[in-house]
Structure 1
Amino acid sequence: MLFEINVLKEKHHMHLIHTAPKTKGKLIFTHQEPASVHFDKVDLGNEQILTIALNGEEAQKITINGMLYEFPSFSIVPLVSGQVFKFEKPEMITAWQYSRDFYCLVDNYFEISCLGLLFFGFSGNLFLTLDEAYREKLRGLQQLFLEEFNTVDTIQTDMLQMLLKRLIILVTRLAKEQYLGGKVYEEEKFDIIRQFNLLVDQEYKSQHQVSYYADKLNKPAKTLTRIFSGFNYSTPSMLIQERIIMEAKRLFCYTNLSVKEIAYDLGFNDAAHFSRFFKNTANLNPSDYRKQQVSA
């Protein structure tokens, strides 16, 4: 069978999966499912999964790697594979999740590739507010996705990839509008930010120094700092620290690994050094943070 479609429906609830016949990459469309299991555990092996989540008409909380955030009504948040997340009201969520084997334009389209601006070009979690015009565009796209999931033929994968590209373009434009503000968009500088974030995401466990990433990008460390400062972002050093802390919090929340094991996994040879680093950055020592998450 060339196509895999898994449809679970109850009224307007649905969870749809399409597998590309050539690459085996997956696209998952989840709409107003009352059970959060689809978000808590997406069983795609070791594939890197990217998520675009749309909240409905009620504000709610979202937990990302153990941290609680406000998820406003009629807003979108993009999430990368290193983030474990849970919605307070999953029945209000529409989400698109896809693997890099399903959609990736790495070489020529840095803005809208699977490793593009939306996921690696901005600092922190992006909560993007939808005005009525954007809501209408999203409603139209949702309907087109549903129609294509129900049209099983030899060009279904191509159509779904095209629709996903439209979604990514739409949300990328929204992110640029809301997060760049009045700043001049300079493609070369923004691509350096994206490349830096991507490198950090790949190597933060073993490489903690800005100089390493600066050498990789053939840029002086001071130049990186100046570029990030120009967009009011955290310094490169702080971004590396934030990525390490984000993974540490995820491991404390979702595994039973000891502090020593987590320290070693994150590139620290000394658990005491890691504990000091964690406390200085997260304002709690590791054991207190883990207790806090268990009692929450």
Structure 2
Amino acid sequence: MKFEFHDTKLASLFGFTDDIKKNKNNFSSNSGNIQILWNRNEIPILLCIDGLTITLLPNQLVTTAYLQHVSFSKTKASLTAFLFNRPFYCINDHDSEVSCNGILFFGTQDLPIITIPVEQERKFNVLFEVFEEEFSTSDKIQGDMLQMLLKRLIIMCTRLAKEQLIVRTLDNEQIDVVRKFNVLVDTHFKTKRKVSDYAELLFKSPKTLSNLFAIYNQKSPQQIILESLALEAKRLISFTDKQNQEIAFELGFNDPAHFSRFFKKMTGHSPSRFRETVVLSN
């Protein structure tokens, strides 16, 4: 099963399939898409995101953005996917409506794997059926209807993410600071390396951010910034043909040797050695 809404004038795309491994190359555009992946099977599913193998249990979802590299080579069962690009639904523009940015998408924390509680399974399955029904009706407002349904899905997932991925001791204002910090780091990590840079953008003190993240998880704001930089370096080494010097300059290092020292400190390998391990693993 594969459905697609594509507006050529706006270059907008929304896709829906019950087997993304089979249909991933059959959509009008395969770049710049955000995905919501849902294991609707009764068995676990394996998939690789940025080279990391994750296990998605039955009735779990994970979200990926276009900066991430997703492989389904280890996926043995069908995996449901909703995918869309920015012209169809811009996460940033609609963040005031759904409050998902920095939690579901473009976050700096671990992958947002969400479990659908048993008592909510029916609600998600009904929404799945409504998506199917909407694609059987092609008219001038189909795009609007699909946007509305996607917004509903994102809100449902965001509510679960806040319950399951963020500690209860944080209030809504503190959660909002975490979200905004995540998005800012994802946007500026190549040029802004200090916690004080982000504290200034958030109108908070660096100490306030550090104290907040001490509650949120074990990673400090500084560690999150540096890990984002290291992750992008690993992506560029693993999935592009760029040489180490090019990557260093792209990530804001004036001296390739400084980049090499940073990369080895963060990963335990030099960039060249890491590249060799990627080649061998393939």
TM-score, shorter chain, exceeding 0.5:
yes
Cα distance change, pair 294–248 in 1 and its aligned pair in 2 (3 A): same
The answer (yes or no) to whether the contact 2:44–2:58 under 8 Å persists in 1 is yes
Instruction: For 1:159 and 1:184, locate their aligned partners in 2 and report how far apart those are by CA, in whole Å.
Output: 37
Q: Which amino acid aligns with 2:187?
A: Q
Match for 2:3 among 4, 16, 19? 16
Write the mapping of 1:89-238 to structure 2, written as runs, cut at 5 A: 89=75, 91-104=77-90, 106=92, 109-110=95-96, 112-113=98-99, 115=101, 117-120=103-106, 123-181=109-167, 183-238=168-223
Structure 1: 5+ residue runs without aligned partners? 1-13
Cα distance change, pair 69–284 in 1 and its aligned pair in 2 (3 A): farther
Q: Percent identity?
A: 38
Instruction: For 2:268 and 2:175, locate their aligned partners in 1 and report how far apart those are by CA, in whole Å.
Output: 31
The answer (yes or no) to whether the contact 1:104–1:113 under 8 Å persists in 2 is no
CA RMSD of aligned residues (A): 2.5
The answer (yes or no) to whether the contact 2:99–2:158 under 8 Å persists in 1 is no
The answer (yes or no) to whether the contact 2:17–2:23 under 8 Å persists in 1 is no
The answer (yes or no) to whether the contact 1:208–1:240 under 8 Å persists in 2 is yes
Instruction: For 1:112 and 1:233, locate their aligned partners in 2 and report how far apart those are by CA, in whole Å.
Output: 27
1:50 is matched with 34
1:31 aligns with 2:13: no
Instruction: For 1:260 and 1:204, locate their aligned partners in 2 and report how far apart those are by CA, in whole Å.
Output: 18
The answer (yes or no) to whether the contact 1:106–1:113 under 8 Å persists in 2 is no
The answer (yes or no) to whether the contact 2:199–2:205 under 8 Å persists in 1 is yes
1:60 is matched with 45
The answer (yes or no) to whether the contact 1:104–1:115 under 8 Å persists in 2 is no
Structure 2: 5+ residue runs without aligned partners? none
2:67 is matched with 82
Once the two structures are superposed, residues 177-226 of structure 1 have per-residue CA deviations (whole angstroms, 9 ceiling, x without a partner) of 21235x13422211111111111111112222222111112211111111
1:267 aligns with 2:252: yes
Cα distance change, pair 289–72 in 1 and its aligned pair in 2 (3 A): farther
Instruction: For 1:57 and 1:275, locate their aligned partners in 2 and report how far apart those are by CA, in whole Å.
Output: 45
Q: Which amino acid aligns with 2:45?
A: Q
Structure 1 residue 138: Cα displacement = 2.3
Instruction: For 2:66 and 2:21, locate their aligned partners in 1 and report how far apart those are by CA, in whole Å.
Output: 22
Q: Which amino acid aligns with 1:71?
A: L
> Which deviates further from its counterpart, 68-77 or 274-283?
68-77
The answer (yes or no) to whether the contact 1:120–1:194 under 8 Å persists in 2 is no
Instruction: For 2:118 and 2:91, locate their aligned partners in 1 and report how far apart those are by CA, in whole Å.
Output: 30
The answer (yes or no) to whether the contact 2:189–2:229 under 8 Å persists in 1 is yes
2:261 is matched with 276
Q: Which amino acid aligns with 1:43?
A: S
Instruction: For 2:106 and 2:235, locate their aligned partners in 1 and report how far apart those are by CA, in whole Å.
Output: 19
> Which deviates further from its counterpart, 220-229 or 26-35?
26-35
The answer (yes or no) to whether the contact 1:36–1:86 under 8 Å persists in 2 is no
SS in 2 for 1:245: helix
Structure 1 residue 266: Cα displacement = 0.8
TM-score in terms of structure 2 length: 0.88
Once the two structures are superposed, residues 223-250 of structure 1 have per-residue CA deviations (whole angstroms, 9 ceiling, x without a partner) of 1111111212521111111111111111
